[in-house]
Every structure is written in structure tokens, then in C-alpha cells.
């Protein structure tokens, strides 16, 4: 048995022992607050069991293992539906970036421990009404008085901001130069004076995303991460961390096996749905697509094991998996007839077709929209010419808005 297989077994044993209290079935009908409280307990138990900060250095409180160990654990954990989603962004990007750029190492070590145990949560404040796919178009501004900074502006779509203690943020420090060059990156205390968080209600009924407003928020220069004007580079670094996350070839919604089960149960024109050519065609299509995605993941694993960086083909994963989940969920709802439209506010994305379908559009936007991923594939994989960039070389404050 390989080291990774043995690790997977150890992880599964831990997760099985946790499932009766924290697993998907145990949490049905919880309020978000109850779920978050359970999530914090689960994170503490995960830390005690040695499954936190798996690929982070031991000196900072991690386990010192490889990224492959982390993906292996995450993949197993996903199947149990543990309440770790509140902490995914926090531990995925902001905390590693603070570990890398913040100079006060004792302070960072304390934050890392609290973040790993679920006692503190960090958010990532990049997107704004005028800067999403084109991050460098952002307008939240900071002005220095030579001592510290004053921040004014607005972010949007910030996941979990209402529960966060800290966040990382990209701001405009110089509007007179090219848009990518006038940005500076900071960490922010979410409880500081002048920070206001307003939740946004999504179609699925939940409010995990927020608007965040800044009104004369004071930042110390020690909160700056990276050089003044170096914010775009730090933002890219943030987005590149752990580009290969655990992916579920089931496509983030209910598994294809569940669809096959449903097709056996429903009736089309007096015959079991599974005998219908159109249904069979979709099953075959999804099976082939998933096999293709699994091959891409295996290839990325092999590259990482050989000490190489996986290539841009990771963009295909999200593009194809989320789109197909949306289509399959829609078909499952159709097969269920009127019952397919019944909305269950406590249902989970991974087990309920309607919830999966309702949430699919956010998946096609968050973390890079379909069109932006298509651009990446066109430019980086197919070698096509770059997208038209008319504001290249133009000072930010001279770009028409
Ligand atoms: C559930 C959810 C959680 C999120 N969490 C966070 C978070 O925690 N922190 C955070 O900072 N952000 C977060 N976001 C925001 C997310 O990163 C942005 O929504 C995303 O980057 C797209 O930006 P936008 O919404 O401004 O759309 P825009 O960039 O304005 O895009 C609008 C449309 O134009 C298309 N488009 C844009 N540029 C191009 C192009 N060059 N070529 C072709 N088409 C293009 C897009 O595909 C899209 O269809 C979250 C979003 C969602 C839905």
C-alpha cells in the first residue's frame, strides 16, 4: 500500500468516527448559526487529530506533509459533508498569504492556530461592483498620511464576511498610473471602526455572500502585505495558491449513480425512464465526461508527485463539471415531474437535484466565470491570440468609466 493509500485509510477512519455528530445527515435542519458552532467544534477535533494544516510547515503549526496528502484528505472529507465550508476560503487563501507576507511572525502563528481550530475566520475581499473578472479595475481606495492609511470604498460577493474576524483586501493606492500597477494589498480587522457588512440573499435562500463597505477605515502600515503598488502580484499569488483543489468528478452535485437510480424509478410513456434513449444518451455523455475529468486529475496528481506544476488544463475541470452538473440536475428535475420543483430549504447541494440546480449558476461565476475560463483555455491551452485589452498602458484615472 502506498503512503497516500495508507493516509487515505487513516483519514477515512477519522471521518467515520466524526460523521455521527458532524456529517451531512446529522446536520439536517440546522440553522446557519448552529451549523457554524458545530463547524468550529469539528475544526478543533480535526486539529486535535492532526488533519489540520496538512501541507503547511510544522514550524507554523502545520503537519509538514505534501499537497497530495491535503487533496486526499479533502476529497474524503467532501464525501461526508462535514461543516468545514465556513473555513474553506479562510484556510485556502487568506491565511496562507498572511503567513507568506506578514512580517510579525508571532502574531501570524497565533492567527494560524486560531484559524486552523475554527476560532477565527478570514475572508477574501477582491471583487467589487466595478472589478470582478477584471480585478485590476477595482476602485476601493487607500490614501496615506505618511504614517498609516485611510480606506474608503466597497467590496461585493465576499463569502462568509458576516462571520469573519479578519480579511485580506486589494485596494487602489495610485489612480494616476496603469491599472495593474497602482494596487496595494492589506489585511483588515473586520471588526474595525468603519467596516460594515451587509448580507445578500441568494436564489437558493442562503446569504453566505455579502457587500462590505469601508468608511474612513484606518489601516496601519504594518497591515500592508507586499510592496506599495505590488498588490496585483500578491492578488495573483493568492489566486494561484493550491490551484489544484480536491475535485469531485461527480461535478459538485449529486452523483451520476443517483441519476441512474432515479431513471430506474420514474416512468416515461409507460416504461421505466432508464429505457428512454434520450436519458441513456445523457448518462453515457456524463459518464464519458467524468472519465475525461478524472484523467485530467490523475495527470495533475502524477505531475505533482514528480515535483512538477500542473498546467492550465485545471480550468477545464470547473468549466465542464459545473456546466454538466447544471444540465444533469435540470434533467433530473424534469424526470421527477411536478415533484422536481418542490423546494426543500434544508436540502444539500450534493444530495438534492433542485438545490444543486438552483446553486449551479453561482458555481459558473465564482472563482472565474465560464467565459473567463474559456479565455484561459483559448490563450493558454490552444495558444490563440490574447483577448482585446484596450486599456493597456492607459493611466487608471484616464480610462472612461
Ligand atoms: C457564490 C459566490 C461567492 C463569491 N465569493 C467571493 C469572495 O469570497 N471574494 C471575492 O472577492 N469575490 C467573490 N465572488 C465574486 C466572483 O469572484 C466574481 O463574481 C467573479 O469574479 C465575476 O465577476 P463579476 O461578478 O464582477 O462579473 P463580471 O466580471 O462583471 O462579468 C459579467 C459577465 O461578463 C463576462 N466577462 C467578463 N469578462 C470577460 C471577458 N474578458 N471575456 C468574455 N466575457 C467576459 C463574465 O463571464 C460574466 O458573464 C463570489 C461570487 C459568487 C457567485
Q: Say which CATH class 256-381 falls into.
A: mainly alpha
C-alpha 152/C-alpha 371 separation (Å) is 31
Q: Which of 93, 133, 188 to mutate to test the pocket of ligand 1 (most atoms within 8 A of CB)?
A: 133
Q: Give the ligand 1 atom nearest the CA of 130.
A: 26
Task: Give the model's confidence band at 305: pLDDT under 50 very low, under 70 low, under 90 confident, else very high.
Answer: confident
Secondary element (H or E) of residue 90? helix 88-92
267-274 contacts: CB < 8 A, separation 24 or more? 268/335, 273/335
Q: Is residue 250 over pLDDT 60?
A: no
Mean pLDDT over 173-198 rounds to 98
Least confident of 143-147, 265-269, 271-275, 311-315: 311-315
| Per-residue model confidence (pLDDT) at position 303 | 84
Return d(Cα 193, Cα 124) in angstroms, integer: 19
**Closest Cα to atom 2, ligand 1: which residue?**
366
**C-beta of residue 187 within 8 angstroms of C-beta of residue 231:** no
Ligand 1 lined by 209 (C-beta under 6 Å): yes
- Model's pTM, two decimal places? 0.93
CATH superfamily, region 122-240: Butyryl-CoA Dehydrogenase, subunit A, domain 2 (2.40.110.10)
Ligand 1 proximity of 154 Cβ (cutoff 6 Å): no
Fold of 3-116: Butyryl-Coa Dehydrogenase, subunit A; domain 1 (1.10.540)
Point out the least confidently predicted range of 102-116, 134-148, 185-199, 233-247: 233-247
Please tell me the distance between residue 124's alpha carbon and the centre of ligand 1 in angstroms.
14
- Farthest CA pair distance, the chain: 78
Annotated catalytic residue within 119, 242, 330, 379: 242
Q: Is residue 32 lining ligand 1, measured as CB closer than 6 Å? A: no
Domain positions in the chain are 3-116, 122-240, 256-381
Kindly indicate the confidence band of residue 249, based on its pLDDT and cuts at 50, 70 and 90: low
CA distance 174 to 100: 24
Neighbour-count burial for 351-387, b at 16+ CB within 10 Å, e otherwise: bbbbbbbbbbebbbbeebeeebbebbbeeeeeeeeee
Q: What percent of the chain has pLDDT over 90?
A: 73
Is 379 part of the annotated catalytic residue set? no
To the nearest whole percent, how much of the chain has pLDDT over 70? Answer: 97
* Residue nearest atom 39 in ligand 1 by C-alpha distance: 372
In short, whether 207's Cβ falls inside 6 Å of ligand 1 is no
> 71 CA distance to ligand 1 centroid (A)?
25
Mutate to test the pocket of ligand 1, among 200, 214, 366 (most ligand atoms within 8 A of CB): 366
Amino acid at each position: 500500500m502506498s503512503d497516500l493509500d495508507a493516509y487515505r485509510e487513516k483519514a477515512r477512519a477519522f471521518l467515520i468516527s466524526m460523521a455521527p455528530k458532524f456529517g451531512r445527515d446529522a446536520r439536517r435542519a440546522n440553522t446557519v448559526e448552529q451549523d457554524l458552532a458545530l463547524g468550529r467544534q469539528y475544526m478543533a477535533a480535526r486539529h486535535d487529530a492532526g488533519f489540520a494544516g496538512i501541507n503547511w510547515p510544522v514550524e507554523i503549526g502545520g503537519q509538514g506533509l505534501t499537497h497530495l496528502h491535503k487533496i486526499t484528505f479533502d476529497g474524503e472529507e467532501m464525501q461526508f459533508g462535514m461543516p468545514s465550508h465556513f473555513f474553506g476560503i479562510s484556510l485556502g487563501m487568506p491565511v496562507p498569504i498572511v503567513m507568506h507576507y506578514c512580517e510579525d511572525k508571532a502574531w501570524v502563528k497565533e492567527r494560524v492556530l486560531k484559524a486552523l481550530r475554527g476560532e477565527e475566520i478570514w475572508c477574501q475581499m477582491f471583487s467589487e461592483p466595478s472589478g470582478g473578472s477584471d480585478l485590476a479595475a477595482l476602485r476601493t481606495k487607500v490614501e496615506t498620511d505618511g504614517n498609516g492609511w485611510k480606506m474608503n470604498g466597497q467590496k461585493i460577493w465576499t463569502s462568509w464576511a458576516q462571520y469573519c474576524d479578519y480579511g485580506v483586501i486589494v485596494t487602489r493606492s495610485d489612480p494616476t498610473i496603469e491599472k495593474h500597477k497602482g494596487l496595494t494589498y492589506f489585511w483588515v480587522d473586520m471588526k474595525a471602526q468603519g467596516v460594515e457588512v451587509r448580507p445578500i440573499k441568494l436564489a437558493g435562500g442562503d446569504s453566505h455572500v455579502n457587500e462590505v463597505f469601508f468608511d474612513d477605515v484606518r489601516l496601519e502600515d504594518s497591515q500592508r502585505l507586499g510592496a506599495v503598488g505590488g498588490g496585483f502580484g500578491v492578488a495573483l499569488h493568492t489566486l494561484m495558491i493550491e490551484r489544484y483543489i480536491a475535485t469531485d468528478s461527480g461535478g459538485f452535485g449529486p452523483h451520476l449513480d443517483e441519476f441512474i437510480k432515479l431513471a430506474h424509478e420514474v416512468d416515461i410513456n409507460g416504461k421505466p425512464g432508464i429505457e428512454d434513449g434520450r436519458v441513456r444518451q445523457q448518462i453515457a455523455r456524463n459518464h464519458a465526461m467524468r472519465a475525461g475529468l478524472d484523467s485530467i486529475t490523475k495527470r495533475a496528481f502524477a505531475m505533482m508527485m514528480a515535483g512538477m506544476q500542473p498546467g492550465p488544463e485545471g480550468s477545464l475541470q470547473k468549466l465542464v463539471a459545473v456546466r454538466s452538473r447544471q444540465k444533469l440536475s435540470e434533467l433530473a428535475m424534469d424526470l421527477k415531474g411536478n415533484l422536481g420543483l418542490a423546494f426543500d430549504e434544508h436540502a444539500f447541494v450534493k444530495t438534492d437535484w433542485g438545490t444543486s440546480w438552483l446553486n449551479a449558476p453561482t458555481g459558473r461565476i465564482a472563482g472565474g466565470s465560464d467565459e473567463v475560463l474559456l479565455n484561459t483555455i483559448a490563450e493558454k491551452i490552444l495558444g490563440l491570440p490574447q483577448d482585446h485589452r484596450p486599456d493597456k498602458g492607459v493611466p487608471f484615472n484616464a480610462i472612461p468609466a
